[in-house]
Every structure is written in C-alpha cells, then in structure tokens.
Amino acid sequence: MCAAWISPTPRNSTDVVEVLYRDAHLLAVNKPAGVPAQPDLTGDADVCALLGLRDAGIPHRLDRPVSGALLIALDNDVLNGLNAAFADRRVEKTYLAIVEGRVEQGADLAHHLVHDTRLRKARVVDGPRKGATLCRLRVDPVRVGDRYTLVKVVPEGGRFHQIRAQLSAAGHPIKGDVKYGARRGEPDRSIALHAHRLRFEHPLTGAPLEVVAPPPGTGIWPRLLAEA
C-alpha cells in the first residue's frame, strides 16, 4: 500500500484537521470531535478524506465523538509496525477527560468488560466470564470543579469504549456521554474525551516520538485547563 494524494481535497483540510507530525511514512493529526476516524455508515468525510489521502491506514481507533491524536500510516511497513506496537502495548497513551462529579484523588480502576454488539457499547460484568476482558485504567485529577473534574487518564491496552465504560462504572461518566450515563449530551454530540499524548518508537527508524494534541478550545475545556 502506498498513500496517494487526491486533488483537490474535499474542503480546506487545514481548517478541519490539524497536522501534528509528518514524514514520508507517517502522519499524526489532531482529530476533531465529530469527524470519523475511518469511513462509517453515515458516508460523512473521514479524516483521510478531509486530508485528501487515499490508501492510508489507521492503526488505532478514536470514537467519532472523541477528539485528539490520531496516527495515520502512509505505507504498509509502517502500518504493520504500528499495529504490532499497539497490540504489544508499546504505545503510551494519555487522555484528558472532563467527567461529572468531583474526583478528589487518583485511582487505579479495574473492570471486566464485554463488547455488547447489540447495544454497541461496552458493559461491565462481575468477574471473569466468557468474552470478558480485564481492563485497567489509571485516573488522576488535574482540576476539581464544583460539578466537573478534569482528569488525566492512562489506559492499559485499548479495548472498545474502555475509558468511557470504566469512568462511568466508577461513578464519573464523561461530560456529554449519554450512552454511558451522562446527565445530558452536547449540542454537537461530542464527548469531553481527548487523546492528548502518544509516545512510541518510529516503526522504521526506531527513533522515539511524542505527539501532543492540544485540547479543544471550546466549551468548558479552556476554563478548566486555565485553572489547572
């Protein structure tokens, strides 16, 4: 697979998707909430389409309502290398989230999750059972407000809806995430979960890379970040 550029792009991509890193083999972008990482049933333009990319590969997923750092492989060697790195948990992922309630101290969360394909969500189950995976999450408060807390989240692995399900199970659903128990949704249907930082080795050169995606500048993100 070799990435090819489509011209013209569907719209001014630099106004939609911020490029964080680029070389001949790898691209990292700050995906806006609401833009699909990959084509979906809606037919809306995904990240690669907005950037005018064809035949590129995405080695990890960000849910449509989630924003943040997304890696795009521009050739098969890089895609295979990144797939292996994510599978072997050699990519360090740090998220920021705004959750309901007050999170006063850090915690290590552990839940058994199953993927409910009928409901299209992750469910917490009691103890190990067939189809369940033990998922772990480190959560630390960054700024505690009256109704919401800005937290740093470091997942172990990356199961389907893991962060969303585990924070909800801990009694702190993500702001706007009505699928997992938030009181109300956001007008743009986004949720306050942001993939902030990725640390990994370049699949071809072995050089250490750190990609940092600035958090959204809308809603209560700026206020909580300024007070952090």
Active-site annotation, residues: 63
Torsion sign, CA atoms 5, 11, 12, 16 = negative
3-state SS, residue 164: helix
The whole-angstrom separation of Cα 22 and Cα 111 is 37
Token pair 């902030």: residue: 196
**3-class DSSP state for residue 124?**
strand
Cα distances from 150 to residues 47, 139, 141, 143, 226, in angstroms, run 27, 10, 6, 5, 11
Counting every residue, how long is the chain? 228
- The answer to whether the CB of 209 falls within 8 A of the CB of 201 is yes
CA nearest 212: which of 200, 223, 227, 198?
198
Q: Are 45 and 64 in contact (CB under 8 A)?
A: no
